Amino acid sequence: MSKAAASLRNCFFCGKHIPTDAGMMLIKNDGSIQWTCSPKCKKNLRLKRDPRKLKWTRKYVKGGIKVKK
Ligand SMILES: [Zn+2]
């Protein structure tokens, strides 16, 4: 059971599934935990890039994003 639960992580940045023994944990100042699948995602997350604007992420939105103000 715990093995299955551990494998349900998704990358906080690109949204891709992270294998149980992979990924990197980022702990933010407010104590929340973010998992990233690769150094690439970690870097982009640190730079506060919007994954919806990057084609290689699962969160990419075709034709641009609509931002509510
Ligand atoms: Zn990722």
How many beta carbons lie within 10 A of that of residue 27, not counting itself? 9
- Give the three-class secondary structure for 4: helix
Structure tokens at 3: 């093995």
Write down all domains in the chain, each with its CATH number in brackets.
Answer: 2-53 (2.30.170.20)
Rg of the chain, C-alpha, whole Å = 13
User: What integer pLDDT is reported at residue 68 of this predicted model?
Assistant: 74
Residue 37, token pair as written in the block: 């699948």
Give the pLDDT of residue 32: 93
CA of 58 to the centre of ligand 1 (A): 9
pLDDT score of 1: 45
Per-residue pLDDT tens, the chain, 69 aa: give them: 445 555 678 999 999 999 888 899 989 899 999 999 999 999 999 999 999 999 999 999 988 777 777
pTM of the complete model: 0.76
Question: For residue 34, how far is its CA from the centre of ligand 1 (angstroms)?
Answer: 11
Separate counts of helices (H) and strands (E) for the chain: 2, 2
- Residue in the block written with tokens 């084609």: 55
